[in-house]
Amino acid sequence: DEIYNFHRLYEQTTVSRQPLLLPKPIPLDPSRQVLLQQHLDLFNRLGFEIEIDENEPRIDRRCRVLSYPTVSGAHSCVFGVDEIDEILSHLSDTSQQARQEEHYESSRLRKVFASKACRMSIMIGTDLTQKQMISVVRHLAQLAKPWNCPHGRPTIRHVSNLSEATKGFLTDDYHSI
């Protein structure tokens, strides 16, 4: 239930841009500037608008942020230079092939959504109807990796002999999953 809610939050949330009144310089060393330039499209997809001025004489002022990504609503947050640094660190630690195949996920946004998904999910000790149980199983079946919640806790428990444990319990509704 929690991992399903987490993915649903990600899918339903739209990221918009918050333009800055004045461009904000990003102090980067030359190697990180090159990395930023190589992955400008990624930053753009994530909602950052960044300008690189090769004619700027001061190296630490060549890269400037024109707008930051922002998420509004009940789980609102505005991203900043810290996220740019996090993304650059991630890119520098990742192989070239993995960078091309991978979808980057902000750790800050992940924490916000994980917390929100946790609070809106079924809590331990909550009594569930059979219909609710079936709904949870169906939701988990839709996910590529339903094994853990966003915090890393297991979402599925192995029952050694399901046919014996469920004798006389399951209905035709369950078998249609």
Q: Where are the domains of the chain?
A: 2-6+119-175, 14-103
Q: Evaluate if pTM is beyond 0.75.
A: no
Is CATH 3.30.1370.100 what the domain over 14-103 is classified as, yes or no? yes
Position 101 scores a pLDDT of 42
Position 161 scores a pLDDT of 64
Helix H or strand E encompassing 172: helix 172-175
Helix H or strand E encompassing 134: helix 130-141
Tens digits of per-residue pLDDT, 96-122?
A: 554 454 556 677 777 878 888 888 888
pLDDT over threshold 60, residue 175: no
CA 35 – CA 137 distance, rounded (Å): 43
In the chain, beta strands by DSSP E = 15-25, 49-52, 63-71, 77-78
